Amino acid sequence: MKASVIFLSYNHASFVGDALRSALNQDYPEYELIVHDDGSVDGTRQIIESILASEVPPHVRVVLAGDGKNHGLVEAFNRANRVSTGEILLHISGDDISYPCRLKRTAEVFKKHPDVMLVVSETQRIDENGNNLKHPRCIKADEIFSYDKKPSYIYAKSPILGAAAAYRARIAKDFDPIKPDFCHAEDNVYWVRALILGQIYYIAEPLLSYRLHTNNFTENQWKWRNGITDSLKDAHLQFAKKHAKNFLQWELDIRHALRNDFINKSKAAQILKTAKLDAMRWALLVSSLKVEPWGEWFRLALESLKFGGVKVTISKLKLRLSNRRRLRYWNRHEKLMIGQ
């Protein structure tokens, strides 16, 4: 299979050398490497240029997609995908280290399973210094996920981590480019697109070292290693608000899939309902934890109930009414973040 490795970096000077070398040294006969540095200002771009000037093996074709400006994560993906020519797109971040077998192992899954649109693997978590971190693995063996099996969950209960993902190119090519204002990350969008078109395959063995550090885009145990703070609480609430916003892009993609006969009306309606309920769950969570005025809370609750979210609404009402429940939520979230 023709493969494109999408390498994205932004202010990763401390880690980008190892990350880029792992992208250049995949055990795969021939592939293209799309490099997009998103306007780094810490020397990342200069490190990339130095490595590409002298360390590119013969079987790798390098394509530079960046223009020196900062576009944000979603638009960086759009730009890199636009110039890619592979049947499969494998993502490597500028702070992670992919094992040499990652591309080969991923391509094998795509070849064996025609209905699989996305492959995600387990990871080995590492800290800023490259030391291994403990990370509970809930799924012990390879598994396939689909809306046919789990229609009531927006990601069909699949683990979601864009840094460990690879996609069939049609996830990007058969839909319009992601709107950066309608979502906060590409994986939230590509996971749903993959499930609209087919299945997601989870590889239980780690295929990369996933680095946790203070500048990660998402929450992680490294940020929470010293315990909960008001700033971490606020960051979690902001992240939850962004999750609620994902519905804007999901709705566009579901309706696009329906117009183009990727799915029928019944399935589109089911996915749309699932997407809306997921968005309302996050929106009500934020409103309840922040104890927003009742008028705003009831507006969100009515929207949730309109789509059948009775259990979601009741659970968030209890959270809104009880300071003890809110404290318990933060205690549970802290334990989750530090891996207990």
Q: What is the pLDDT of residues 25-38, one digit of tens each?
A: 999 999 999 999 99
- Any residues with CB less than 8 A from the CB of 162 and at least 6 apart, and which? 91, 185, 186, 187, 190
For residue 301, the model assigns a pLDDT of 95
For residue 159, the model assigns a pLDDT of 93
Q: At 25, which amino acid appears?
A: N
- Categorise residue 62: left if φ over 0, alpha if ψ from -120 to 50, beta otherwise: beta
For residue 190, the model assigns a pLDDT of 96
Indicate the angle between helix axes 265-289 and 294-306, nearest 10 degrees: 160
Rounded Cα gap, residues 181 and 200, in angstroms: 26
Asked if 203 and 122 touch (Cβ cutoff 8 Å), the reply is: yes
DSSP letter (8 states) at residue 132: B
**What does the block give as tokens for 80?**
């890199």
- Closest to 94 (Cα-Cα) out of 170, 40, 154: 40
Rounded Cα gap, residues 166 and 156, in angstroms: 17
For the chain, how many residues are written? 340
Kindly report the number of other CB atoms within 10 A of residue 234's CB atom. 11
Rounded Cα gap, residues 113 and 278, in angstroms: 29
User: To which residue do tokens 């981590």 refer?
Assistant: 161
Q: Walk me through the domains of the chain, giving residue ranges and CATH numbers.
A: 3-211 (3.90.550.10), 230-337 (no CATH)
- Closest to 143 (Cα-Cα) out of 120, 124, 166: 120
Tens place of pLDDT per residue across the chain (340 aa): 999 999 999 999 999 999 999 999 999 999 999 999 999 999 999 999 999 999 999 999 999 998 889 888 899 989 999 999 999 999 999 999 999 999 999 999 999 999 999 999 999 999 888 999 887 777 889 999 999 999 999 999 999 999 999 999 999 999 999 999 898 889 999 999 999 999 999 999 999 999 987 665 565 565 656 677 888 888 889 889 988 999 999 999 999 999 999 999 999 999 999 999 999 999 999 999 999 999 999 999 999 999 889 999 999 999 999 999 999 998 887 777 766 5
Q: Please tell me whether residue 84 adopts helix, strand or coil conformation.
A: coil
What is the model's pTM?
Answer: 0.92
Asked if 120 and 159 touch (Cβ cutoff 8 Å), the reply is: yes
Rounded Cα gap, residues 335 and 340, in angstroms: 5
